[in-house]
Amino acid sequence: MDVWISSGTHVDSIAKREERINERFESPDVVFAEGAKKPPAREQLISILRIVPGAPVLAAAVLFHIYISVKMHGRIQSNISDGDSGRDVEIVRNITSHHNIEWYEIDNELLGQYVHSNIIKWGILNWFSLFGITVLMWPSPLVMWSVIQYGTVLLLIGYILFIALLGVANHAREEKMAEEIKNKREKYDQAIIVLGEAHHPGVGNRLRNESEINVLNPMPKNLNWTTRMLLRIFTIYNRIKK
């Protein structure tokens, strides 16, 4: 099975990525995608709210990331660019519709499980951060500017915790993604993988070692600076874990 990996920042140039896909495959057989199949909005919200008691700062960052950074930002980009830019889910929708092919979700690992399995550690990190920032900042007068500063600092801390969570879950998620693709390698001749750029090297290298899979681009080119940072963090975490 020949494989082309289309990776990006989840809100990206749809037109450019689809152009690269079409240059490689005239008639692909299947699409494997990370995060294109999401649970219903209510179910997704409830799953995030469940970690609030133990990890309130992290939960706030996850909510902001999903609903503001990805969903709202993606819709705005799509509307402004008249569909040339947008979310990964739109790439999957366009490719499967154009070629009349099926697609599979490959990322079924729930991040919340990593919080619940180590709730004491995550609880200490979250509540200590919340308490410490509150004590340090609230001697200031309670005005709009101080509220904005307080919220911004907490969101920044939340994103740091979110990146740490991604690092903890990364190995298992990439193993699962690669396994989902390997299990279907005998059914298709040409496959497209749509995923986040930070998973491109990990999934690409795992698939490259399979004798029946030919990965045309196991490593991404011109990595985004945020992706470089994430990959560095993942590498450091894996070294510490070993």
Question: For 172-181, what is each residue's pLDDT tens digit?
Answer: 899 999 999 9
Would you give the distance in Å from CA 90 to the centre of its chain?
15
Terminal-to-terminal C-alpha distance of the chain: 33
Tell me the domain boundaries of the chain: 2-241
Predicted confidence (pLDDT) per residue in 215-233, tens digit: 999 998 888 888 888 888 8
Summarised one tens digit per residue, pLDDT across range 27-66 is 999 999 987 666 555 777 788 888 999 999 999 999 888 8
Percent of the chain with pLDDT over 70: 91
Q: What does pTM read for this prediction? A: 0.83
Residues 6+ apart with CB under 8 A from 145: none
d(CA 105, CA 180): 9
